[in-house]
Amino acid sequence: MTQQIGQQSHAICDYEGTSYRARFWEGQGRDYEDLAERNALRRLLPPRGRRLLEVGAGFGRLVDLYGGYDQIILLDYAKSGLREAQERLGRSSRFLYVAADLYHLPLAPATCDTVVTVRVLHHVADVPAALCGIAATLRPGGSYVLEYANKRNVKAIARYLLGRQPWSPFAVEPYEFAALNFDFHPAWMARELRRAGFRIEAGRAVSHFRHPLFKRLVPAPTLAALDSVIQGVGADWKLSPSIFVRAQVVGSGDLRIAPLFCCPACAGGALDEIPEALTCRNCGAVWAISDGIYDFKTPLHPGARPNA
């Protein structure tokens, strides 16, 4: 689907109602990938902070790794995933559930210490725009831990050299292998991170053993432990299908605790809370808070001066 807020529109890979957890994770033979990703995130995530934002958090699969943070914002376009997370984690001021488009983040500048995206960027057609939005939500010196699908992985290289794959894994431009599913070249991603104001600090190459044969022969925890051993050195080669990076916003500065939200319709208007909604002082848009979920997808009232 295509989302339009203000004047820009972007295609969105819509997970609403897709039962992502049941369909993709539960009993689907991906325990190895889950463990390998957790190992990488544990190594890269700054262990403590006031506020962490996970963009494209889905049903909150990785939330147990955020124990060192005072407040965790789970943001996703799909409300169905957020509702699953809310059922498991409950309602409290520690967890905020935010339905929004990552191209129009409803967060005021410098309000997060850390942002995480895992298994999300491969659905993002305009990564430079997404990175700029994420950089703006981070305080100077804040960290962005991201995962992306690597087009220059060993399997793609072998298939290309054997003539079984037409596209080159060495070409730097993103490759869209299915609608709104992209693989990225590490050099391209590094360049775009720098352009968005990040400095790359550390990386992990992840899921080296993502092959049915390995997964059949070796128990998932053992395979993930082996992967963990080579994730660090593998980051020099980047031949695995998944790459994790920790990047830091250049500079240093304080976190802005409040106000947290701003209006995504006019890109920054201050919001006033009224019962069950937020209203924008600038454009007049009204955003619902329904059943504990801040809903910034479609305004209850659109507002008079979008992009004012």
Ligand X SMILES: C[S@@+](CC[C@H](N)C(=O)[O-])C[C@H]1O[C@@H](n2cnc3c(N)ncnc32)[C@H](O)[C@@H]1O
**Which residues of this protein are in contact with ligand X, per CB under 6 A?**
12-13, 15, 20, 56-58, 61, 76-78, 81, 101-103, 118-120, 123
Distance of CA 271 to the CA centre of its chain: 25
78 binds, among Zn ion, ligand X, none (CB under 5 to 8 A by kind): ligand X
Residue 203's nearest CA partner among 44, 34, 55 is 44
296 binds, among Zn ion, ligand X, none (CB under 5 to 8 A by kind): none
Least distance from C-beta 51 to ligand X, angstroms?
A: 18
| Local structure of 261: helix, strand or coil | strand
Residue 265's nearest CA partner among 76, 1, 14, 7 is 7
Q: In angstroms, rounded to a whole number, what is the distance separating the alpha carbons of residues 232 and 14?
A: 33
Residues 6+ apart with CB under 8 A from 109: 136, 137, 256
266 binds, among Zn ion, ligand X, none (CB under 5 to 8 A by kind): Zn ion
Closest residue to ligand X, Cβ-based?
A: 58
Pseudo-torsion of CA 150, 154, 157, 162, nearest 10°? -150
The smaller minimum CB distance to Zn ion, of residues 71 and 282, is found at 282
Report strand pairing: 138-149 vs 242-249.
antiparallel
Output the CA torsion sign for 257, 261, 264, 269. negative
The answer to whether 105 contacts Zn ion (rule: CB under 5 A) is: no
The smaller minimum CB distance to Zn ion, of residues 142 and 264, is found at 264
The smaller minimum CB distance to ligand X, of residues 107 and 118, is found at 118
Size of interface with Zn ion, in residues (CB under 5 A) = 8
Least distance from C-beta 94 to ligand X, angstroms?
A: 19
Q: In angstroms, rounded to a whole number, what is the distance separating the alpha carbons of residues 192 and 61?
A: 27
280 binds, among ligand X, Zn ion, none (CB under 5 to 8 A by kind): Zn ion
**Interacting positions 254-293 with Zn ion (CB under 5 A):** 263, 265-266, 269, 280, 282-283, 285
The smaller minimum CB distance to ligand X, of residues 120 and 131, is found at 120
283 binds, among Zn ion, ligand X, none (CB under 5 to 8 A by kind): Zn ion
Question: Cis peptide before 221, with omega less than 30 degrees from 0?
Answer: no
Tokens of 117: 């995206």
Least distance from C-beta 176 to ligand X, angstroms?
A: 14
- What is the amino acid identity at position 104? H
Least distance from C-beta 286 to ligand X, angstroms?
A: 21
The smaller minimum CB distance to Zn ion, of residues 56 and 284, is found at 284
Q: Phi and psi for 214 in degrees, rounded to 5?
A: -60, -45
Per CB under 5 A, residues contacting Zn ion are: 263, 265-266, 269, 280, 282-283, 285
